[in-house]
Structure 1
Amino acid sequence: MIKAYFIERRSWILFYVFLHGLTIFIAYLDAAIPLRSVLYIVLLSLMVFTVFVIVRCRKETAFYQRLEEWETDIGLTTLPEGESPLEKIIEEKIASQTRLLLEKASLNQQSLEQEKDELLSWIHEMKTPLTAMHLIIDRLEDETTKAQLTYEWLRIHLLLDKQLHQKRIPFIENDLYFEAIDIEAMLYKEIKELQSWCIQKGIGFDIQLQVTEVVSDYKWLSFIIRQLLSNAVKYSNASDIVVTSRSQDDQTIIDVKDSGRGIDSKDISRIFEKGFTSTAKERENTATGMGLYLAKKAAQPLLIHIDVQSQAGAGTTFTLIFPRKNEFANMLRGCAKNKFYF
């Protein structure tokens, strides 16, 4: 800050030095002016000027020092108070701009909230005709047409479900309810949802569960499982998807393994990025690149780690690693502190 002050005031200091140098030069040329007296006066003036600069430096940099240390969050409570007229102008300008930003941020937040509420309302309203459509499809006698329509219905259902959870994820901490979950019942429920798609592609499931119960949030865990299962079905053909669970180092581990086309090694590190789709099938336009991204986002507040192992052409294994008991206990204490539910 001191260096910045001297850089800011260098023109004044140089001008002052120039004037004293000019005075000494004139006294040197004009014999009528006593040079020793002029040098004495200049020396005293420089001493007084040095003290003046030090005092002014401390006084003038105090405001800018406080401004530099000002909290980065937008607010007016910690805005430093100016003392000089110029400092007050700066303070008033910053305050007015901050108020304007706060007003705009508030309006934008209200607009986003309204948009989110309208979209969630629309998604919920869409569930009614979707349910009616499913009942109509079930009454069809033509099995081929029935299978095709059921598959298209399922695609719409999954897309709406994904959109619904995408809008809820920013507020997931307010939507957690921890309980003991029957893994087998959850898996069969999700598999049943994908039944028409699996029949169409000739895909079966092999369920091997050593651990049948886990403590987590049912709604969000089922969403994560749904994304992994639908991803496995999407990229597999006429094969079994193996789902296993086991306990290891005081942790529950669930594997979802398919025998599909696999993931290219250069894509492994990017599959959880928002909007990323495989570079191996660039012409494939059905993928949105949101499923695995949302699954990863939903897993974080549950302290679930998602791992993936894959090789191009040799299938993919997604692994859900649940927190240890002590990690989970710490999470529950945090939930209780924030008024979440167990």
Structure 2
Amino acid sequence: MIRRFIAERRSWILFFLFQLLILLFIAYLDPSISLSAMSYIVFLSLVLFIFFLFLRYQRETAFFKQLEERVNDLDLSSLTTSRSPFETIVEKSIIEQTEHLKQTASRNRVQMEQEKDEMLSWIHEVKTPLTALHLMIQRMEDDQLKARLTYEWLRIHLLLDQQLHQKRIPFIENDLYMEDTDIETLLFTELKTLQSWCIQKGIGFDFDLQVTHVLSDSKWLAFIIRQILTNAVKYSESSDIIIRSYLKADRTFLDITDHGRGIDSRDLSRIFDKGFTSTTVHHDQASTGMGLYLAKKAADSLHIKMSVNSKVNYRTTFTLAFPRKNEFVHIIGM
């Protein structure tokens, strides 16, 4: 701050020093003026000027120091009261901009809430004809056409579900309900939805559930598992998906392993990024790049550590590490 203060007042300081040098120069040229007396006056002036600079530094930088240390939010209570005309201009500008930002943020929040409510309402309305369509497809006698239509119906169903949860993600903290969740029941419910797709692709499942219950939010946990299973089925052909749960270091783990196309090593660190699909399979237009991103966001809110291990054209394993029992005090406290 001292350097910035000197830089701000540099022209004033140089002007004052220049005046002192002129006085010494005049005393040097004019024999009638005592050079020693003038030097003494210049010395006293310099000492007084340094003392004056010190006082002005304390006074002029106090306001800007607090501005620099102030948290960049919309709370004006921490704003220091101005003590000079220029500080008043700065203070007035900050207050006006903050009020403008508050009004803009309030309008945007109302608009977002309205758009979210409209979108949720639309999704729920679409689910009704979608359910009716599914019942009609199930009554069809042409098995080949039935399988193809069921697959397309499932894609629409999953995309709507993804959109529904995408709108709810920003408010997930208000939607959490921690309870004893049966992983086995949850898994079979999700697999029942994917059953026709799995049969079509010749995909089976191998279970090894040593732990069947965890403390979590069943709705959001189901969404996380749904995204992982959907990806596993999508990128696998005629192979088994292995699902196992186990206890390690007082922590429950859930592994979902498929033997599909795998994930390139350079993509592993980016698969949870919003909108990221793949750097190797650019023609894969069926992927939105949102499923794993939303699953990771939900997992973080549930304090579930979500990780992936993969080898191209061999295996991909998604692991959910549930929090220990003593960590639930913090989660339930939310």
Which TM-score tier does this pair reach, normalised by the shorter chain? over 0.9
Q: Deviations over 1:166-193 (max 9, x none)?
A: 1111111111111212222111110110
Using structure 1 for the length normalisation, give the TM-score.
0.93
In structure 1, distance between residues paired with 2:36 and 2:315: 95
Deviation of residue 77 (structure 1)?
Answer: 1.4
Deviation of residue 74 (structure 1)?
Answer: 2.0
In the alignment, which residue of structure 1 is the partner of 2:52?
52
In structure 2, distance between residues paired with 1:47 and 1:270: 62
2:6 match: secondary structure: helix
In structure 2, distance between residues paired with 1:320 and 1:140: 39
Contact 1:70 1:80 in 2 (8 A): no
Deviation of residue 236 (structure 1)?
Answer: 0.5
Point out the more displaced range, 223-232 or 104-113.
104-113
1:77 match: secondary structure: helix
Flag structure 1 segments of 5+ consecutive residues without an equivalent: 336-342
**Taking structure 1 as reference, are residues 259 and 43 closer, same or farther at Cα in structure 2, changes over 3 Å only?**
closer
User: In the TM superposition, what are the counterparts of 1:97-116 in structure 2 within 5 Å?
Assistant: 97-116=97-116
In the alignment, which residue of structure 2 is the partner of 1:313?
313
Deviation of residue 232 (structure 1)?
Answer: 0.6
In the alignment, which residue of structure 2 is the partner of 1:283?
283
The alignment status of 1:67 with 2:78, answered yes or no, reads: no
**Taking structure 1 as reference, are residues 20 and 248 closer, same or farther at Cα in structure 2, changes over 3 Å only?**
closer
In the alignment, which residue of structure 2 is the partner of 1:141?
141
Q: Deviations over 1:109-143 (max 9, x none)?
A: 22222222211111111111111111221222222
Amino acid at match of 1:205: F
In structure 2, distance between residues paired with 1:71 and 1:265: 40
Point out the more displaced range, 22-31 or 41-50.
41-50
In the alignment, which residue of structure 2 is the partner of 1:338?
none
Deviation of residue 303 (structure 1)?
Answer: 1.8
In structure 2, distance between residues paired with 1:308 and 1:46: 69
Deviation of residue 3 (structure 1)?
Answer: 2.1
The alignment status of 1:155 with 2:141, answered yes or no, reads: no
User: In the TM superposition, what are the counterparts of 1:123-202 in structure 2 within 5 Å?
Assistant: 123-202=123-202
**Taking structure 1 as reference, are residues 37 and 246 closer, same or farther at Cα in structure 2, changes over 3 Å only?**
closer
In structure 1, distance between residues paired with 2:233 and 2:226: 10
Contact 1:305 1:322 in 2 (8 A): yes
In structure 2, distance between residues paired with 1:276 and 1:132: 34
Amino acid at match of 1:69: E
In the alignment, which residue of structure 1 is the partner of 2:95?
95
Deviation of residue 242 (structure 1)?
Answer: 1.6
In the alignment, which residue of structure 2 is the partner of 1:250?
250
In structure 1, distance between residues paired with 2:258 and 2:84: 71
In structure 2, distance between residues paired with 1:205 and 1:213: 20
In the alignment, which residue of structure 1 is the partner of 2:5?
5
Q: Deviations over 1:5-31 (max 9, x none)?
A: 111111111111111211221222122
In structure 2, distance between residues paired with 1:90 and 1:279: 49
Flag structure 2 segments of 5+ consecutive residues without an equivalent: none
Deviation of residue 276 (structure 1)?
Answer: 1.3
Amino acid at match of 1:7: A
Point out the more displaced range, 152-161 or 187-196.
187-196
In structure 2, distance between residues paired with 1:245 and 1:27: 94
2:241 match: secondary structure: strand
Using structure 2 for the length normalisation, give the TM-score.
0.95
Deviation of residue 51 (structure 1)?
Answer: 2.0
In structure 2, distance between residues paired with 1:320 and 1:275: 22
Deviation of residue 50 (structure 1)?
Answer: 2.3
**Taking structure 1 as reference, are residues 259 and 96 closer, same or farther at Cα in structure 2, changes over 3 Å only?**
same
Contact 1:304 1:320 in 2 (8 A): yes
In structure 2, distance between residues paired with 1:326 and 1:10: 60
Q: Deviations over 1:273-314 (max 9, x none)?
A: 211112221111111111111111111122211222211111
Deviation of residue 39 (structure 1)?
Answer: 2.5
In the alignment, which residue of structure 2 is the partner of 1:262?
262
In structure 2, distance between residues paired with 1:31 and 1:109: 79
User: In the TM superposition, what are the counterparts of 1:203-242 in structure 2 within 5 Å?
Assistant: 203-242=203-242
2:78 match: secondary structure: coil
| Aligned-residue identity in percent | 60
Superposed CA RMSD in Å reads 1.5
Q: Deviations over 1:243-275 (max 9, x none)?
A: 122222222222111111111222222211211
In structure 1, distance between residues paired with 2:229 and 2:180: 21
**Taking structure 1 as reference, are residues 248 and 45 closer, same or farther at Cα in structure 2, changes over 3 Å only?**
closer
In structure 2, distance between residues paired with 1:307 and 1:42: 73
In structure 1, distance between residues paired with 2:247 and 2:84: 68
In the alignment, which residue of structure 2 is the partner of 1:76?
76
Amino acid at match of 1:52: F
In structure 1, distance between residues paired with 2:256 and 2:291: 15
Contact 1:201 1:238 in 2 (8 A): yes
In the alignment, which residue of structure 2 is the partner of 1:340?
none
2:318 match: secondary structure: strand
The alignment status of 1:15 with 2:15, answered yes or no, reads: yes
